Amino acid sequence: MKHIKLHENHLFPEDLADINKLLKQLNPDLKKINWEHIKKVMKNATVFVIRDHSPRHKKSSPRGKVVGKTLLVHGQKFAGSYGTIHDVVVDEKYRGMGLGKMMTKEALKKAKKLGMQHVELTSNPMRIPANKLYQSLGFEKRDTNFYKYQIKK
Ligand SMILES: CC(C)(COP(=O)(O)OP(=O)(O)OC[C@H]1O[C@@H](n2cnc3c(N)ncnc32)[C@H](O)[C@@H]1OP(=O)(O)O)[C@@H](O)C(=O)NCCC(=O)NCCS
């Protein structure tokens, strides 16, 4: 854990390969994203990034290898501002070390700082570690129907 650090809004074009690798681990069906897309997402969100600054990654990733990330999207309703957590993922080699919890806690801290009224997220019930993580942090399961209207495939 000595070389592992959490960063806020600290992403660069050279991180693209790491980000796409993490997205594949989140969902193998996701298409690769480009830097323009990341910049667009970051306009309305805070991104939390875990980097491994170990000397062995120094040459390939001078700013540290990205091994986890999560997104707090800033939302606004008539009732007030709120956040939505998306894209929580930790590289397979780094799981079970408390990094997922660290990022999610940081997102909640940021939401409080921004004056958000609540933070929401959805997670497939088959994602056992993720559901345990969210519940352990105080997320309450809501009894509601989740709808999705697909526009693009
Ligand atoms: C979900 C995920 C981000 C957790 O990251 P992580 O760094 O391994 O999790 P942590 O080590 O911080 O563990 C936090 C909590 O998650 C739960 N958890 C983590 N791994 C678990 C496992 N294998 N089985 C059951 N619960 C687990 C535990 O409640 C744990 O708290 P505890 O250690 O106090 O018991 C990671 O498993 C992952 O990237 N999964 C694939 C992508 C995914 O499903 N993302 C969620 C999308 S909604």
Q: Is the pLDDT of residue 1 over 90?
A: no
Cα-to-centroid distance, 96 and ligand 1 (Å): 6
At 153 the pLDDT is: 79
Q: What is the pLDDT of residue 53?
A: 97
Stretch 33-54: mean pLDDT = 97
Q: Looking at residue 44, what is its pLDDT? A: 96
How many CB atoms sit inside 10 A of residue 135's CB?
Answer: 12
pLDDT at 25 over 90: yes
Q: What is the mean pLDDT of residues 51-66?
A: 94
Q: Give this prediction's pTM.
A: 0.96
Q: What is the DSSP string of 1-32?
A: -TTEEEEES---GGGHHHHHHHHHHH-TTPPP
Q: How much is the pLDDT for 143?
A: 95
Q: Tens digit of pLDDT for each residue in 78-137?
A: 999 999 999 999 999 999 999 999 999 999 999 999 999 999 999 999 999 999 999 999
- The total of other beta-carbon atoms located within 10 Å of residue 12's CB is 12
Percent of the chain at pLDDT exceeding 90: 97
Q: Indicate whether 49 pLDDT > 90.
A: yes
pLDDT of 152 reads: 87
- At 74 the pLDDT is 98
> What is the chain's Cα-based Rg?
16
Q: Which residues of 41-61 are buried (b: 16+ CB within 10 A; e: fewer)?
A: beeebbbbbbbbeeeebeeeb
Question: Of all atoms in ligand 1, which is nearest to the CA of residue 133?
Answer: 16
Nearest-10 Cα torsion for 21, 23, 69, 75: 160
Residue 126 C-alpha to ligand 1 middle, in angstroms?
12
Return the best residue to mutate from 48, 90, 134 for the ligand 1 pocket (most ligand atoms within 8 A of CB). 90
Q: Is the pLDDT of residue 20 over 90?
A: yes
Residue 32: pLDDT band (50, 70, 90) is: very high
